[in-house]
A = this chain, B = another copy of it.
Amino acid sequence: MATIKLTDRQEEIIRLVKENQPMTSEKIAASLNLTRAALRPDLAILTMTGILDARPKVGYIYSNKPSYSLVYDYIRKISVEEIMSKPVVVQEDTSIYDAILHLFLNDVGTLFVENNDALVGAISRKDFLKIAMGGTDMHKVPVGIIMTRMPNIVFVDPKDTAYFAAKKIIDHEVDSLPVVEKFINEGKELFKIVGKVSKTNITKIFVKLGENG
């Protein structure tokens, strides 16, 4: 990963501005025994990176806001593939009761449902809680009856960006998305479940981005 290596002089400029802000380029130059021309490339780098902010007729102040476009570019480069985790999958005829056991044993918030190796549904902790509050016989009724069914399931491709997945999670108000690969069976377009990406995965990247590199 690329890291900005500020020069000693640039670090010194930051220190000076922090202590004396707002500080004009003349004053900075004088403090460092430099000409303004010699200082120009350093000030350009420090303002372009967002570390210093140049206020016309006032001088430089310390802002330390990174350039938005850099954060944007970085976030857009992370793929679903890099962050996805193992999905927990049950069959369409699994009983609700057994499905809930799977949910607890694997400590996940959403189960994905398949039939003949293809994604057919999804069911969340919230759906299960609703059912558990009602009078349904959880040992007898299969998950296929209560799940959200294709094509009403939002999914992503392993090559999609984590940003795209996070946006789908927020827009569709779900906790988790299946990551799928398309396949054709008897002329029908079907989807094989290869992973999942959840708010937990996104929160983990956020923590990783904020860690001291």
* Residues in chain A within 8 A of chain B (CB atoms): 1-5, 40-41, 44-45, 48-50, 53, 63-77, 100, 103-104, 107, 109, 125-126, 128-130, 132-133, 138, 161-163, 166-167, 169-170, 173, 175, 199-200, 202-207, 209-213
- The residue from B44, B132, B161, B170 contacting A45, defined by CB atoms under 8 A apart: B44
How far is it, in angstroms, between the C-alpha of A130 and the C-alpha of B41 when the chains are bound?
A: 63
Which residues of chain B are within 8 angstroms of A213 by Cβ–Cβ distance? 68-69, 72
How far is it, in angstroms, between the C-alpha of A69 and the C-alpha of B3 when the chains are bound?
A: 6
Which residues of chain B are within 8 angstroms of A74 by Cβ–Cβ distance? 65-66, 71
How far is it, in angstroms, between the C-alpha of A163 and the C-alpha of B203 when the chains are bound?
A: 9
Which residues of chain B are within 8 angstroms of A109 by Cβ–Cβ distance? 126, 175
Contact across chains for A73 and B64 when beta carbons are under 8 A apart: yes
Q: Answer whether A48 and B50 are a contact pair too, CB < 8 Å, given A205-B206, A210-B76.
A: no
How many copies of this chain sit in the oligomeric assembly? Answer: 2
How far is it, in angstroms, between the C-alpha of A158 and the C-alpha of B176 when the chains are bound?
A: 27
Task: Name the residue of chain B whose CB is nearest to the CB of A164.
Answer: B210
Which residues of chain B are within 8 angstroms of A175 by Cβ–Cβ distance? 109, 199
Contact across chains for A77 and B65 when beta carbons are under 8 A apart: yes
Which residues of chain B are within 8 angstroms of A3 by Cβ–Cβ distance? 67-69
